[in-house]
A and B are shown apart, each in its own frame.
Chain A
């Protein structure tokens, strides 16, 4: 079997787990998206050794290496809302960026402080 075929087969397997996650979400009416439930599901399956690591390895490596690619259609969606950010709306971009920087710095610093304390102990 060639490599491309293996990757395709394994990505199909990941898609199946994603579908299972979406099904669980709908059946239980959860607010967590199906993809995240699917990820937790795969984590459990790996931990219980029901799925051995080698079974999906190449597909996983492929998907993670090209993760940004899968966001492109969603990010292009900005095109439909460009008008909101005209004039005063420009301020919303500044607010969004400032708030994002704040979250990154504060959550990171708190974690780093606690981790270092734990490592020294």
Chain B
């Protein structure tokens, strides 16, 4: 069997197994994307396989991320009336979230004494990977490193969101959706979608708006605060 096929089968098998466990034992630490990633990383490390080898098969799954994002148009369409009615609150929250994300990431890593290269890489972390990478490229960051920070915002956000939502008193589905989409892009959206379709749709809108807003304001804010 070719390596590519083996890697694909491995990923599908591990995902289905973790999903099986998750459906019976629904906890944060059994979330399929987290457990699957951890298991695959362990397998690659144990067998001394580089990421490039994994991606010969992984890229075929990665390629389906595009149509998966396209599919999010459906819930958006179903909730179009609420979206129209609540556009101003959603837009305002998302713009403020975009500014908070860029400025906090930049200033904290600057105060901690990290190099410009790392600071530029962390700035666009709240938005979806392809957009974050192109922002990072234009401001002078390292693209693969940015992808890792995007993962920290996504997976990390997934891990801490029950705590953050509780502490910040976010009870409304629209408020939660904007928080999840603005902070943790598509991974946050998938968690929102699982909880509630309206929250998930709001999160989708916030994710898309955030991607556009961050790419417009990141270069200017970076210049201002560096």
- Which residues of A line the B interface, CB within 8 A? 11, 14-15, 17-18, 21-22, 31-36, 38-43, 46-47, 53, 56-57, 59-60, 63-64, 66-81, 84, 88, 91-93, 95-112, 114-116, 118
Q: Is the CB of B54 within 8 A of A73?
A: yes
Residue of A nearest to B148 (CB): A81
CB neighbours (8 Å) of B31 from chain A are: 68
A32 to B187, CA, bound (A): 18
B140 interface contact, C-beta 8 A:
no
Q: Which of A60, A63, A78, A103 contacts B100 (CB 8 A)?
A: A103
Q: Is the CB of B164 within 8 A of A96?
A: no
B191-223 contact mask (Cβ, 8 Å, vs A): 1 or 0: 001000000100000101001100100000000
Q: Which of B73, B93, B160, B215 contacts A111 (CB 8 A)?
A: B93
- Given known pairs A17-B67, A112-B170, the reply for A101 and B11 (CB within 8 Å) is no
Q: Is the CB of A36 within 8 A of B69?
A: yes
Q: Is the CB of A107 within 8 A of B100?
A: yes
Q: Is the CB of A101 within 8 A of B183?
A: yes
CB neighbours (8 Å) of A115 from chain B are: 86, 89, 172, 174-175
A110 to B212, CA, bound (A): 19
